[in-house]
Homo-oligomer: A and B are copies of this chain.
Amino acid sequence: MTPTAQLSSLGITLPPAPPKGGIYKPVVVVGSLVYLSGHGPYLGDGGMIRGRVGEDLDLAEGHAAARQTGLAMLATLQQELGSLDRIKRVVKLLGMVNSTAEFADHPKVINGCSELFAQVWGDDCGIGARSAVGMGSLPGQIAVEIEGIFELNA
A22 to B118, CA, bound (A): 13
**Contact among B36, B108, B115, B135 with A134 in the assembled complex (CB-CB below 8 Å):** B135
Q: For residue A1, give the distance in angstroms from its CB to the closest CB of chain B.
A: 20
CB closest chain-B residue, reference A93: B24
Number of copies: 3
Contact in complex: B23, A127 (CB < 8 Å): yes
- Total interface residues on A, using CB and 8 Å? 57
In the complex where A91-B35, A129-B147, A131-B147 touch, is A107 in contact with B139 (Cβ < 8 A)? yes
User: In the assembled complex, which residues on chain B have CB atoms less than 8 Å from the CB atom of A28?
Assistant: 91-92, 128-129
CB closest chain-B residue, reference A118: B23
Q: Is A81 an interface residue (CB 8 A)?
A: no
In the complex where A35-B92, A91-B35, A151-B30 touch, is A24 in contact with B128 (Cβ < 8 A)? yes
Q: A18-38 interface mask toward B, CB cutoff 8 Å, 1 = contact, 0 = none?
A: 000111111110111101111
Contact in complex: B135, A37 (CB < 8 Å): no
User: In the assembled complex, which residues on chain B have CB atoms less than 8 Å from the CB atom of A37?
Assistant: 92, 129-131
Interface set of A (CB-CB < 8 Å, partner B): 21-28, 30-33, 35-38, 52, 91-94, 96-97, 99-108, 110-111, 114-115, 118, 127-141, 145, 147, 149, 151
